[in-house]
Structure 1
Amino acid sequence: MSDEVPITDDREPAGVVTAMIDHVLGLAVTWTEWDGRPLPAGERLYTPHKAIRRVTDHLIDHLAELEARLAGDRTIPDRWHASASTTPVDLAPFTDQDLDEATSRLTRLGRIWTARLNALTPDQLDHSPGEGWTFRQIAFHLAGSDYYADAVGNLSAVGSGR
């Protein structure tokens, strides 16, 4: 993930966010085949649970930012441990029940993002209140959350590790 100003284009911001979620869930359906070994990506390790946690946390963090800025409030800095840490829960097997819960959680977050972004005017998307990236830029930044899922990859080949 990068802190560089996100590049935007003419796609609808809500569609950008939901396409990322669809991509993540498309990979996640293969993660019940995970062999339990963390997968390296750069200097970090990823697992199915960690990828879902990071995508979810990222969506929540920026949603909280967007809502605070719209309300004229200060944003609360996140205190996530992010991808620098791999917790014991991250190392648990990724089961069909975990996939069901991840699907429910991310689908709901996608609907919340869609409702919120579609309620904003083009001016609000491109000239957002408060400090930070515009709301359009935030949506395009969120598209990069697929990095976490891509770090785990498609595990449809049992025991492939990737």
Structure 2
Amino acid sequence: MQQSSTITENPGALVESAVDHCLDVAATWLAWDGRPRVSEDGDRVYTPHKAVRRIADHLIDHLAEVEALLAGVDTMPDGWHASLVTLESDWARFTEQDLTEARQRLRRLARTFSLRLAAAGPETWDRTRGENWSLRRIA
């Protein structure tokens, strides 16, 4: 997406749309055969639970960054193990209940992100914030 202060749509709407797309893909995982998918670079493996966890982690991380920037405080250092680590729980079967929980969790996080940007207002979305990204770029 081109970064432009002339775009007046809340960038959080793109986050909500991206989460909906991810959840549409997640709905196809109910028939997962238990074999992980390998990243294109071959460095990481993904399972349905890991993918959902990483999407939630990104939303939490970016929401925390937005809140810190709006509060005028330092952001928290990145201590995530990220996608290089596959947790034991990531290997569990992915069920209808897991999908329902993922939908509830991820849609709430995406909506909270979008509402936070809306409350901050369009005048804040492209503001220069030192070495940090603008709120629009974080979204």
Where does 1:112-151 land on structure 2 (aligned, <5 Å)? 112-129=112-129, 131-139=131-139
Aligned mates of 1:122, 1:129 — CA distance in 2: 15
Instruction: Determine if contact 1:45/1:86 at 8 Å carries over to the other structure.
Output: yes
Aligned mates of 1:47, 1:60 — CA distance in 2: 20
Q: Which residue of 2 aligns with 1:66?
A: 66
SS of the aligned residue for 2:53 comes to helix
Structure 1 residue 130, shift from structure 2 partner: 5.2
Instruction: Determine if contact 2:10/2:122 at 8 Å carries over to the other structure.
Output: no
Structure 1 residue 121, shift from structure 2 partner: 2.5
Q: Which residue of 1 aligns with 2:80?
A: 80
CA separation of 1:67/1:128 partners in 2, compared to 1, >3 Å: closer, same or farther? farther
Where does 1:13-162 land on structure 2 (aligned, <5 Å)? 13-42=11-40, 43=42, 44-129=44-129, 131-139=131-139
Tell me the amino acid that sits aligned with residue 110 of structure 2: G
Tell me the amino acid that sits aligned with residue 88 of structure 2: P
Structure 1 residue 85, shift from structure 2 partner: 1.1
Instruction: Normalising by structure 1, report the TM-score.
Output: 0.77
- Structure 1 unaligned residues grouped into runs of 5+: 1-5, 140-162
Tell me the amino acid that sits aligned with residue 8 of structure 1: Q
SS of the aligned residue for 1:106 comes to helix
Structure with more contact order per residue of length (Cα contacts < 8 Å, sep ≥ 6): 1
Structure 1 residue 62, shift from structure 2 partner: 1.0
Where has structure 1 moved over 4 Å in runs of 4 or more? Answer: none
Structure 1 residue 119, shift from structure 2 partner: 1.4
Structure 1 residue 128, shift from structure 2 partner: 4.8
Percent of aligned pairs with the same residue? Answer: 51
Q: Cα RMSD (Å) of the superposition?
A: 1.6
Aligned mates of 1:47, 1:119 — CA distance in 2: 35
- Structure 2 unaligned residues grouped into runs of 5+: none
Instruction: Determine if contact 1:69/1:130 at 8 Å carries over to the other structure.
Output: no
Q: Which residue of 2 aligns with 1:148?
A: none
* Count of paired positions: 134
Tell me the amino acid that sits aligned with residue 49 of structure 2: H
Instruction: Normalising by structure 2, report the TM-score.
Output: 0.89
